[in-house]
Amino acid sequence: MAEGSRRLRRGERPSAGDMLLTPANAQRLTDELANLRGAAMKLGQILSMDTGTILPRELTDILAKLRDDGVEMPPQQLNQTMTDAYGEDWETLFYGFDHRPLAAASIGQVHRAYSPDGQEIVLKIQYPGVTASIDSDVNNIAALLRLSGLLPENIDLEPLLTAATEQLHAEADYLTEARYLAQFGEWLCEDERFVVPEVFPALSRETVLAMGYVESAPIEELNAMSQEVRDEVMSVMFDLMLREFFELRTVQTDPNFGNYGYQPNTGRVVLMDFGASRKFQAKFVNGYRRMLKAAFSGDRGRLLSAATRLGYLMEDDKKDYQEFVLSAFELALEPMLFDGAYDFGASDLPERMNKFGESAWEYRDAWQAPPTESVFFHRKLGGMFMMAGRLGARVDLHTLVVNRVL
């Protein structure tokens, strides 16, 4: 309202989007979503992984700031949350509990503790009110997207927002995450490249997840290591992503860097968070495999057919839009299509994706929301690309895809 008043006094007639997306308002929005935490912050993180092909660049720039850590719980709130989970004498249940959090994120924070038998563990403790606020938070984000005035009126985001709501409810149930943690531990128990923390079911609750403490360094510290080590670690992580999607059909879809650690003494990657794990339907996975095969063969006709069967809606009479979408696929898959070690650190792919996304406005009348399943997988894929770029890694993703998928 203040921004609108200022512009009206200058004789302007601003739109709602113009007023919302000023730098000052963008900062206020980001700060408030970070303080709200919960689903508002988590959904902002999910949407921020878009590269400008679904959401306007201005909005993704605002939401991208939410990928950083959240705000810690006040001590009284922490005590009440633990009391609700374990009872008044909750501290007697643990051999020791460190009230200072190791980390704070979108829907919870992590504390070090000791189990009754003296094992060192961590407790992921959920912020109060997260589950109750999910539906309203998603509705508020949807209202924000509409208010911006930057989305065409004909685009239907309801399926995407419904899927995001369901995913957020699943992420807020720590007993569900405990089951995924145990499942991935079983799947990867013989893979010496990874470490999955032990889950402690007897100490876990719907809002508190207890798991073994695993010593590791932040994944970004790989920047100080040799090119060979960085290349190997990212190759391992891409290989796991492909196995998750195409073989296990269960993907940990949150690419937040804080969900991974690295052990320099063993060379192993530590997988620390499975809250965003998602099962994918075999039909979608097989359809994506067909799309990759078409892209690898360079057959645009087959690529269009596979994308349409996957759920991308492109009307036959809008050939220009079809060409645009196919070019977007080919650009996004560039690291996979490149025959050899792709240098993520030297690549300008993110900039080209952003520039390409800006041209999407020309086709706004033909826009359709993407298949909901693709948003969650692309969130993971985009996050891995970002991490590889941050680490300056060179990965022969082409060979990994050929061996693991095609």
Active site residues: 254
Contacts of 5 (CB under 8 A, 6+ apart): none
The closest of 177, 238, 239 to 206, measured between CA atoms, is 177
* 8 Å CB contact between 105 and 69: yes
Spatial strand order in the sheet of 260-263: 194-195, 268-271, 260-263, 217-218
CA distance 168 to 389: 28
Contacts of 344 (CB under 8 A, 6+ apart): 234, 335, 385, 388, 389, 391, 392, 393, 394, 395
Assign residue 318 a region (left: φ > 0; alpha: ψ between -120 and 50; beta: otherwise): beta
End-to-end CA distance of the chain: 55
Any idea what the Cα angle at residue 218 is, between residues 217 and 219, rounded to 5°?
110
* 8 Å CB contact between 263 and 215: yes
CA distance 180 to 132: 23
Q: Looking at 2-107, which runs of residues are DSSP E strands?
A: 96-97, 103-104
- How many helices and strands in the chain, by DSSP H and E? 17, 13
What does the block give as tokens for 254?
Answer: 């949150």
Task: Name the CA radius of gyration of the chain, rounded.
Answer: 22
Backbone angles phi, psi at 394, to 5 degrees: -115, 120
The closest of 268, 253, 179 to 215, measured between CA atoms, is 268
Q: Which residues pair with 250 in a beta bridge?
A: 279
